[in-house]
Amino acid sequence: MDKKSKIVLIIFSLVVVGIIVAEIVRPKPINWRPSYTASSKIPFGCYVLYNELSTIFNGSDIDTVEESVYDVLVDRDKSIESNYIFINEYINLDKQETNQMLDYVSDGNTIFISATGFGNYLSDTLNISIESDYNLKEGSTKLSLTHKELKSKKFDLSRGIYNSHFTSVDSTNTTILGHITYLKEDFIDAKPAQKFRRANFIKTKFGKGHFILNTTPQAYSNFYMLKGNQEYVSHTFSYLKDKEILYWDNYKKAGRVIINSPMRFVLNQPALKWSYYLMISGVLLFVFFKSKREQRIIPVIEPLKNSSVEFAQAVGSLYNQNKDFTDLINKKLNYFLEHVRSHFHIDTSKLNDKTIQVLAAKSGKGIEETKNLIDYIIKLKNKATHTEQDSIELNKKITAFKQ
């Protein structure tokens, strides 16, 4: 390698190393996707809030739920009162889960949900509806509470807010606990921004317990907990009475890691999981020892193909396409007579009775069969033109004679 090539190679290597180092040390972009899981430290995770639960609810045992709400509530001890907290972008509850939650609250427990939607079954049962009023301009949203000691406090929200609010509630069983106030501009008609104040925080009685519902889950995220709005969270949680157990839902989360593999059920069952692992280990051991005991596969060598048959077929096809049966019959006669000369050592320049007798004796064929063949050959030699039927008949007689 010459000196110039070495310099180019060194420069190229330095550039590649520089790119790799730059990618490693450059700051990672902020992940603004909603997560709301207890372990998520991104802006819209709930790591800060989860770690403050023991301080806010110092009289309750925190039980982090990693399974469906149905599985938790169907096996609960009904003699123990508890609270259940759900925080997520959207809470999708099926009919069975909703029925269990309704029974749970009816027994005197409390469920706190902060989401932009609560599922059709729960919304229909509680007779509530929610809408979101999106705005291109952020930074104009404020939250407030209706409690007489907190009316004057406003909590600013600057990013990621959908301005979700209740459009209808069951007034006989519902108490409005807070509002969301936001500005909305009409960019099409260029009208001045309008100010809206809507309910976003309510308390609904159901049986002996209550549902406490909030449509602004972003307020409970890391971003706003560290931006000075932690008071809003503590004030909203103050409507939850201290009970023996506080369930924190970590299952119905947008950021929850979900295994979509078809093996999910097998891996979730201890017996099936260990059977699967043992089977895989056994197969690997079998393959390992089997490969040590057996020799390498001997490759199959294909024999050389005899192309003479294909060549004859190709030539025959050409003659058949041209329909020159006279030329084809002449060649067949020449090949047959050459066969007689080379195998039986008989002169075929003149075909007569002597030729017939000698050929019949040496070939083992009958006089009559041999005579028919030789007479047919003489007949064809005397014809000026031939037909396809002549060619077929000649081929049959020659084939029968050679057998």
* pLDDT tens per residue, range 234-263: 999 999 998 999 999 999 887 766 555 667
Based on its alpha-carbon atoms, the radius of gyration of the chain, rounded to whole angstroms, reads: 47
Residue 159's pLDDT is 83
* pLDDT tens per residue, range 289-338: 776 666 667 788 888 777 777 777 776 677 666 777 788 888 888 888 88
Q: How many CB atoms lie within 10 A of CB 67?
A: 10
- Helix or strand or coil: residue 164? strand
Total residues found in the chain within this entry: 403
Instruction: Indicate whether 354 pLDDT > 60.
Output: yes
Specify which residues 204 forms β-bridges with.
Answer: 174, 211
DSSP element (H, E) containing 212: strand 209-214
* pLDDT tens per residue, range 7-40: 878 888 888 888 888 877 888 788 888 899 999 9
Let me know the angle formed at the C-alpha of 290 by 285 and 295, rounded to the nearest 5 degrees: 150
87 band by pLDDT with thresholds 50, 70 and 90: very high
Closest by CA position to 113, among listed 144, 134, 87, 139? 87
Q: What is the DSSP string of 103-124?
A: HHHHTT-EEEEESS---HHHHH
Distance of CA 123 to the CA centre of its chain: 32
